[in-house]
């Protein structure tokens, strides 16, 4: 017999299954060569278990460890410290397989597996990931169960059943603790994704950058309004304001100032909504995906925002930290002209142009300035110019390094929103009108199931704002509205559906989940569930105090303790009752089946005698009940194999029980042979 500390076959199977399940979520996170290490270590351990290979020499294990360390140090150039740290944990987890022989070695692997399941939530917090983690926990716990089982107890599936029952029993207490137990902030902050590439706007923009985002269907943010949604033509989601131009690229000012708080007190900004002011307000909850940047998105101009945010003088909403994980925040925005009195320094900032270049564009703008004295008239003339022969496309011709605006306005005349916004701001500035480029998103897909708007990367958009000195206000102007009016009336998905580059990086979305009625309904249903998951589960700590106040009234330490202790006492009472109910030793299933047979044999005085061997018992029954001789032979053989074979097949127990049932069914119809029965009765 194998020593008790050696791993059994079922333990090895569950350990390897646990390793594969635990590593699966990290396929897109850790370096790919770690999975080659996984194949090497798992394969080697299987060969050792089969007796074909021996455990690697200590020098081989040392060499593998050094190679892994060198590889992880090299990965620091491309990945974050967190990814490398998780890679180090996975490496130790795998290398332990090359020396895993005893129970204590297996326990180290299992405990590391539990830790890796928790770490997977650092990179993915979706519903599928949560369900997969629960399944992984059940499998790893089943593996832990097999490590402490005897060599003879080799039923492979029973540990999995026990593990599943264990987690079902723990579910009520888990829900209670989730709802009641207060969240404790982390002792330190970890920058999870520093250096990681994100899809979205950047702090600089050239005319072709925005069109590249139409290749992606990634979600930028989700919004749920407190009142009816704004009209489609008003769904301009501000991200960044670009005011510095080098002739080709637009950038933000190096040191934008925080907005003047007094501006929010101006009558029009704070005043009554209506036709006279042309101002509308909207209150909404926005859930923004990780962007790796400090700015936050909001509808047009946010006027009420969380205290941890600040609004810069260019109306960019900015937080103190880069957004490395999904964040939810509430805003109130005003849609309409933006009153602001510009200083001479501000005017110069919004009139900045390179000293030279794009001569034709400058000349055209000066012609308009000579014809019209009002900013609104110049802007109207510019829109009429764009409405002539210009075309809106995702694949505009490449522009040269110099005089790119001239080339676009007078030669190619084909571009995306970034081209029109960039050229429009330059024309207005050349005409002496302060203007700036605004980058963000336009539109949003309404999910009728939950009333939320989903804004995706392919809805990225650029427009411009110009300052009119007559009313000292900024006015939004979107040249796309005259070049491609359908862009404001239709969704980006409808408008670009025939463009070959649209959703080129998300072909599954383009070829079914975007337009097919059935697949689209499935997607909308999942997105609605996922939105509520992130809103109510992942961000529950933000509304926990309100929930407890509704439940308890005035919150106190005593009430919290009682609320935790009462359901805890119920759970523990149920556990105690279950243990006491099964306090006595459970009968073996084989003996229970034999007692069932004995009850049927008592009437003929053929029951099993005290201390009688099983083979002798069935041999004695055969002449008395010859019609059941074949069944008695099956019972005798199965019993001996179950009791004495080291790796008894679980199927034998089912055969034994089935044979007992057949005997019991046929016994009432049979009568013992007279001679045999008489001999048994006389004890001869």
Strand order in the sheet with 295-296: 295-296, 317-319, 309-311
Give bridge partners of residue 157 from the DSSP assignment.
Answer: none
Range 676-681 average pLDDT: 40
- As to burial, measured by CB atoms within 10 angstroms (0-12 exposed, 13-18 middle, 19+ buried), residue 62 is exposed
Position 544 confidence tier, pLDDT thresholds 50, 70, 90: low
Angle separating helix axes 614-624 and 629-644, nearest 10 degrees = 180
Model confidence at 553: pLDDT above 90: no
Cα→Cα distances 212→235, 394, 462, 601, 676, Å: 21, 8, 13, 84, 94
572-593: b (≥16 Cβ within 10 Å) or e: eeeeeeeeeeeeeeeeeebeeb
Model confidence at 646: pLDDT above 70: no
The token duo for 463 is 């427009």
The token duo for 15 is 């350990």
Q: What pLDDT is attached to residue 648?
A: 60
Position 587 confidence tier, pLDDT thresholds 50, 70, 90: low
Angle separating helix axes 651-666 and 629-644, nearest 10 degrees = 150
In this prediction, what percent of the chain has a pLDDT beyond 90? 33
- As a residue count, the chain comes to 684
Give the integer Cα–Cα distance in Å for 496 and 487: 9
Rounded to a whole number of angstroms, the CA Rg of the chain reads 37
Range 494-499 average pLDDT: 71
Higher pLDDT pick, 371 / 77? 371
Instruction: Write down the domain spans for the chain.
Output: 9-180, 204-505, 554-581, 589-682
The region of weakest confidence among 165-179, 222-236, 534-548 is 534-548
Give the integer Cα–Cα distance in Å for 272 and 589: 81
Range 432-439 average pLDDT: 95
DSSP tag of 27: T
Angle separating helix axes 33-49 and 9-23, nearest 10 degrees = 180
DSSP tag of 509: I
180-212 pLDDT, tens digit each: 776 655 544 455 443 344 556 777 888 766 667
Are 501 and 515 contacting, i.e. CB atoms less than 8 angstroms apart?
A: no
- Give whichever of 4-13, 156-165, 561-570, 636-645 has the largest mean pLDDT: 156-165
What is the average pLDDT value for the chain, to the nearest integer?
82
123-151 pLDDT, tens digit each: 888 889 999 999 999 999 999 988 887 65
226-284 pLDDT, tens digit each: 988 998 889 999 999 999 998 888 998 865 566 544 344 333 444 333 333 467 899 99
- Give whichever of 43-57, 217-231, 486-500, 530-544 has the largest mean pLDDT: 217-231
Angle separating helix axes 674-682 and 614-624, nearest 10 degrees = 140
The token duo for 59 is 């020098």
- As to burial, measured by CB atoms within 10 angstroms (0-12 exposed, 13-18 middle, 19+ buried), residue 151 is middle
Q: What pLDDT is attached to residue 331?
A: 95
Q: What pLDDT is attached to residue 45?
A: 86
Position 379 confidence tier, pLDDT thresholds 50, 70, 90: very high
Q: What pLDDT is attached to residue 507?
A: 64
Distance linking the first and last C-alpha atoms of the chain:
41
Are 96 and 80 contacting, i.e. CB atoms less than 8 angstroms apart?
A: no
Task: Return the SS3 of 263.
Answer: helix
Q: What pLDDT is attached to residue 1?
A: 40
Model confidence at 81: pLDDT above 50: yes
Q: What pLDDT is attached to residue 47?
A: 87
Give the integer Cα–Cα distance in Å for 504 and 673: 85
Q: Which residues contact 286 (CB under 8 A, 6 or more apart)?
A: 221, 222, 223, 296, 297, 298, 328, 329, 330, 331
Q: What pLDDT is attached to residue 261?
A: 42
Q: What are the DSSP calls for 334-392, one per residue?
A: EES-EE-PPPHHHHHHTT---SS--HHHHHHHHHHHHH--SHHHHHHHHHHHHTTT-EE
Are 519 and 512 contacting, i.e. CB atoms less than 8 angstroms apart?
A: yes
Cα→Cα distances 457→105, 210, 252, 460, 463, Å: 48, 9, 21, 6, 16
- Residue 463: name the closest of 386, 403, 388 by CA: 386
CB atoms < 10 A from the CB of 403, how many? 20
Cα→Cα distances 439→229, 316, 426, 566, Å: 22, 10, 16, 54
Are 311 and 302 contacting, i.e. CB atoms less than 8 angstroms apart?
A: yes
Range 520-535 average pLDDT: 84
User: What residues act catalytically?
Assistant: 417, 461, 478
Are 488 and 233 contacting, i.e. CB atoms less than 8 angstroms apart?
A: yes
Angle separating helix axes 127-147 and 9-23, nearest 10 degrees = 160
CB atoms < 10 A from the CB of 122, how many? 15
Q: What is the sign, positive or negative, of the torsion defined by CA atoms of 247, 400, 482, 282?
A: negative
- Residue 424: name the closest of 440, 448, 408 by CA: 408
The token duo for 173 is 């207490």
Model confidence at 386: pLDDT above 60: yes
Give the integer Cα–Cα distance in Å for 436 and 349: 10
Give the integer Cα–Cα distance in Å for 630 and 352: 102
């Amino acid at each position: 017999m194998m020593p008790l500390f050696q791993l059994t076959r079922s333990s090895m199977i569950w350990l390897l299954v646990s390793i594969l399940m635990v590593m699966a979520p990290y396929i897109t996170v850790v370096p790919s060569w770690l999975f080659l290490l996984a194949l090497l270590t798992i394969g080697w351990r299987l060969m050792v278990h089969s007796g074909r290979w021996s455990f690697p020499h200590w020098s081989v294990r040392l060499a593998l460890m050094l190679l892994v360390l060198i590889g992880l140090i090299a990965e620091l150039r491309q990945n974050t410290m967190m990814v490398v740290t998780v890679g180090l944990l996975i490496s130790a987890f795998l290398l332990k397989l090359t020396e895993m022989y005893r129970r204590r070695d297996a326990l180290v692997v299992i405990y590391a597996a539990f830790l890796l399941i928790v770490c997977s939530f650092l990179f993915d917090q979706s519903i599928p990931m949560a369900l997969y983690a629960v399944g992984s926990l059940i499998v790893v716990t089943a593996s832990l169960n097999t490590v402490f089982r005897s060599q003879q107890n080799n039923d492979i599936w029973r540990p999995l059943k026990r593990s599943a029952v264990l987690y079902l029993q723990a579910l009520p207490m888990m829900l209670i603790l989730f709802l009641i137990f207060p969240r404790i902030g982390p002792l330190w902050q970890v920058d999870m994704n520093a250096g990681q590439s994100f899809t979205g706007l950047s702090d600089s923009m050239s005319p072709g950058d925005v069109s590249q985002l139409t290749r992606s269907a990634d979600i930028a943010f989700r919004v749920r309004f407190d009142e009816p949604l704004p009209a489609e033509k008003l769904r301009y989601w501000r991200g960044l304001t670009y005011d510095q131009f080098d002739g080709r690229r637009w950038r933000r000012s190096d040191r934008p100032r925080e907005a003047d708080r007094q501006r929010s007190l101006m009558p029009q900004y704070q005043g009554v909504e209506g036709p006279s002011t042309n101002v509308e307000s909207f209150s909404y909850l926005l859930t923004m995906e990780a962007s790796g940047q400090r700015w936050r998105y909001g509808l047009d101009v946010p006027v009420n925002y969380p205290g941890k945010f600040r609004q810069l003088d260019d109306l960019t909403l900015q937080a103190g930290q880069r957004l490395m994980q999904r964040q939810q925040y509430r805003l109130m925005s005003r849609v309409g002209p933006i009153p602001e009195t510009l200083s001479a320094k501000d005017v110069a900032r919004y009139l900045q142009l390179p000293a030279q270049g794009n001569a034709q564009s400058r000349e055209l703008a000066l012609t308009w300035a000579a014809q019209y004295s009002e900013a609104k008239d110049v802007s109207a003339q510019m829109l009429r110019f764009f409405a002539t022969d210009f075309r809106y496309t995702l694949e505009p011709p490449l522009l040269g390094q110099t005089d790119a605006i001239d080339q676009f306005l007078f030669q190619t005349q084909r571009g995306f929103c970034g081209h029109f916004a960039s050229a429009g701001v330059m024309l207005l500035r050349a005409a002496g009108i302060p203007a700036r480029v605004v980058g963000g998103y336009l539109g949003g897909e309404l999910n009728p199931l939950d009333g939320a708007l989903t804004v995706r990367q392919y809805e990225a958009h650029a427009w411009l704002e110009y300052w009119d000195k007559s009313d000292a206000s900024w006015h939004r102007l979107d040249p796309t509205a005259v070049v491609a009016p359908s862009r404001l009336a239709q969704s980006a998905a409808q408008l670009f559906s025939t463009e070959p580059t649209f959703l080129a990086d998300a072909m599954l979305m383009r070829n079914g989940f975007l337009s097919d009625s059935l697949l689209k309904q499935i997607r909308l249903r999942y997105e609605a569930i996922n939105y509520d998951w992130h809103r109510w589960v992942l961000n529950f700590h933000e509304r926990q105090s309100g929930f407890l106040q509704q439940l308890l009234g005035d919150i106190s330490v005593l009430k919290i303790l009682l609320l935790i202790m009462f359901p805890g006492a119920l759970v523990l009472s149920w556990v105690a009752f279950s243990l006491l109910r099964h306090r006595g030793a459970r009968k073996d299933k084989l003996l229970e089946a034999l007692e069932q047979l004995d009850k049927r044999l008592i009437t003929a005085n053929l029951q099993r005698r005290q201390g009688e061997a099983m083979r002798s018992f069935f041999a004695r029954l055969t002449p008395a009940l010859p019609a059941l001789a074949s069944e008695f032979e099956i019972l005798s053989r199965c019993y001996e194999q179950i009791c004495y074979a080291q790796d008894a097949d679980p199927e034998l127990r089912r055969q034994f029980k089935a044979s007992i049932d057949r005997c019991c069914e046929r016994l009432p119809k049979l009568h013992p042979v007279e001679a045999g029965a008489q001999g048994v009765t006389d004890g001869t």
